[in-house]
Structure 1
């Protein structure tokens, strides 16, 4: 009877250990939920619909609920900094968005003085536009990755689009930076992987071929503009950063399987990278 009891207890312990090990090897959704807030306004100079105008549009999907209220406030603060800047970091998300819109319109309306002084030189160049939105890219295993998209037109030859990625460690609400993942001595190797991944994406068998498409190969290095997901680390280079404007944005993913040997073992990202490298 004692033997049977010991066997039963041992079986329960083994089962618990196996379940625990299994749980450590799966992706888990975070208990972080989101809300979406949209605002927009078109404002004409001199409040005259026949005059130039600015068009402002903002769509913000922001962290709204999290079991730890203190961490939620920190997460929202980091989100606001990425989305519209440090000037608004101490405001609640919707309040921050409203204040940003007010400031944008006020800045545009300052052009009225130029219009009044030189009406003959005003025209299409005074039509401004700004469009802001974001996308949640990864929300699992205590990480949040998101991207903020900005389009701005200020009367030039063309508007400018840019995207900024951010990764947060939800255990601390702190942004994850390159030096949280890689040691400086490994960044050259990581850069080589990025360049090779881009070459392969474009169908080339050599990095040098990128120059034929107008890329500045020397400029393709690891930057802070990256995000993580279940597959690997993705870097994004905005127009003009590594190639001419006509090339547009370059989004380059490097799989964890390639990066793992360069990721610090004490990095918060390492367990995820190791788990996904083995899948």
Structure 2
């Protein structure tokens, strides 16, 4: 019973957060839920958790967008608990999520992947000629994640434990500086980057 009540409260908190975040600077008095946020607010299915906690952090808020993350820690038995973090980049005026494909130019994936893999090598102190798998990563190439975010200094990319490396590495986040991304961001991406940097 406690689990069910707590999940209902969490869903309500998440819905209220979404409404507050979107409504803070919205030109429209009525705030409709963002579909992807509404879906994520559904209680997780599967085994009941022995422990579960979550928190929300707004990291960027400008007239045009808000960036926040939803961080969950849970334990359902076994050797260790688990943590997950989902990032949201929200267009306040349109009340919709801004996806990675909305801010990067078509065909920029190859160059973006090179920058990401270079940053991951730097994180793991690997030389440029060394394969990613010679460090902590599972594979020699890393798929570009859609779990991304804008920060004051660049565009960040996020992977939960087990996505690209063992649990012992924890959450992996890298930030690519805006200066390295100028040729890859489209007009919308450049405008958002400029707005975020101005604060």
Return the alpha-carbon distance in structure 2 between the equivalents of residues 262 and 67 of structure 1: 29
Q: 2:154 matched to which residue of 1?
A: 232
Cα displacement string for residues 231-276 of structure 1 (whole angstroms, at most 9, x for unaligned residues): 11100111111011111111011011101101122x2x21233578
Say which of 167, 185, 192 aligns to 1:263: 185
Matched, 1:201 2:141: no
Structure 2: 5+ residue stretches without partners: none
Cα distance change of structure 1 residues 191 and 258 upon mapping to structure 2, 3 Å threshold:
same
Contact 1:238/1:250 (<8 A) preserved: yes
Contact 1:219/1:241 (<8 A) preserved: no
Q: TM-score if structure 1 supplies the norm length?
A: 0.57
If each structure's helix is expressed as a fraction of its own residues, which one has the higher value?
A: 1
Cα distance change of structure 1 residues 67 and 273 upon mapping to structure 2, 3 Å threshold:
closer
Q: TM-score if structure 2 supplies the norm length?
A: 0.77
Matched, 1:129 2:51: yes
Matched, 1:165 2:122: no
Indicate the RMSD between aligned Cα atoms, in angstroms.
3.3
Contact 2:62/2:195 (<8 A) preserved: no
Alignment map for 1:15-164 (pairs within 5 Å)? 42=2, 58=10, 62=17, 63-64=19-20, 65-68=23-26, 70=28, 73-74=31-32, 76-77=33-34, 80-81=37-38, 83-85=40-42, 108=48, 128-164=50-86
The offset of 1:213, in angstroms, is 2.6
Structure 1: 5+ residue stretches without partners: 1-40, 44-53, 86-99, 109-126
The offset of 1:82, in angstroms, is 6.3
The offset of 1:71, in angstroms, is 6.4
